[in-house]
Structure 1
Amino acid sequence: MLPEALTALAMSGGTAVMTAAGTQTWEALRRRVAAWFAHGDSRRESAELERLDRTATELTAVEGGQLERARIRHEASWQARFEAFLEDLPDSEREAAADALRVLLQEAAAAPGVSAGSGGLAVGGDLNISAEGGSIAAGVIHGGAHVGHPPVPDPNQG
């Protein structure tokens, strides 16, 4: 049984895989995760890359409510893989592997660029949401927002 801190780390690993799948950061993360699992074994690294690719492929093949269920299932599966890997390591190697995973996850979280998975929208600047003709517009805001009246059109613009 892993200590709580390592279980939380494994959970973060599963979340990172799901967060990156289908985004611009996927390629870099999948290579680093595969290398982390492989510990220098090229055959194992290839097997992990294939496993990661299957995850990404399965996620792109589903839509709607099925997508969210698939993401939850794969996130739990990857968490279990990270947990099992850490648990199987000798005590003398476990902390070094955990430290390497922490660094990998910190660097993945700090990766430049804005990206979103399938069905999502990420914006690295301004986003205007509007509705016309009785429609409803909605958005989720993580960070600051300004709500105000729209600018008055210039009469010369028609």
Structure 2
Amino acid sequence: MLTEALTALAAAGGTAVVQAAGTSAWEGFRQAAARWFGRGSEERERVELERLDRSAVELSAMGDSEADRVRTRQGAMWQTRFEQALELLSEVEREQAADQLRALLVAHAPVGGVSAGDGGLAVSGSMEIRADRGAVAGGVIHGGVSMGTPPQPGPELS
């Protein structure tokens, strides 16, 4: 069983496959991911290249109505592939592979993508949460924050 950190890393790998497909980052990401899965075996690397290509075709062929479903399914499938690959390794090999996967994601995954889980909201840029008329507003913040002027109290609602 993988640690939470390795499961999160595998999830990041699955997300990166979905985000890279169809972008200028795809070719470099695809090659690096196949090498990572291949672990020195040209045959395994070739099989992974074919699997990655099938995913890219499916992701590019989706219509608007099915886009979220296909992305979710492909991301989950690739997360599982990364998890399985890590689970098959000894503890020492697993740590080395995790370091290599982190480096691969930093070097080849598309930059600027944001995502959120069920019930979440992800924003690339700025977002304002405001309460007026004495209402309450809230949000959970991950990353940098800048605050404008504090809200002014509004009239009480009856």
Q: Deviations over 1:25-81 (max 9, x none)?
A: 000000000000001100110000000000001112211121221110000000000
After superposition, where does 1:73-112 map in structure 2 within 5 Å? 73-109=73-109
Aligned partners of 1:9, 1:141: CA distance in 2, in Å? Answer: 21
Identical aligned residues as a percent: 52
Structure 1 gaps of 5+ residues are 116-139, 146-158
Letter in 1 for 2:95: E
How large is the RMSD of aligned CA atoms in angstroms?
2.1
Shift of 1:108: 2.1
| Structure 1 partner of 2:37 | 37
Aligned partners of 2:64, 2:110: CA distance in 1, in Å? Answer: 29
Shift of 1:109: 4.2
Aligned partners of 1:51, 1:110: CA distance in 2, in Å? Answer: 19
Aligned partners of 2:45, 2:90: CA distance in 1, in Å? Answer: 20
Q: Secondary structure at the match of 2:125?
A: coil
After superposition, where does 1:4-153 map in structure 2 within 5 Å? 4-109=4-109, 142-143=124-125
Bigger relative CO (Cα 8 Å, ≥ 6 apart):
1
| Structure 1 partner of 2:154 | none
Change (3 A) 1:18 1:110: closer
| Structure 2 partner of 1:136 | none
Structure 2 gaps of 5+ residues are 114-121, 128-158
| Structure 1 partner of 2:132 | none
Which ranges of 4 or more aligned residues in structure 1 deviate by more than 4 Å?
none
Aligned partners of 1:6, 1:90: CA distance in 2, in Å? Answer: 14
Letter in 1 for 2:47: A
Change (3 A) 1:11 1:141: closer
Aligned partners of 1:60, 1:82: CA distance in 2, in Å? Answer: 22
Aligned partners of 1:142, 1:79: CA distance in 2, in Å? Answer: 23
TM-score (norm 2): 0.70
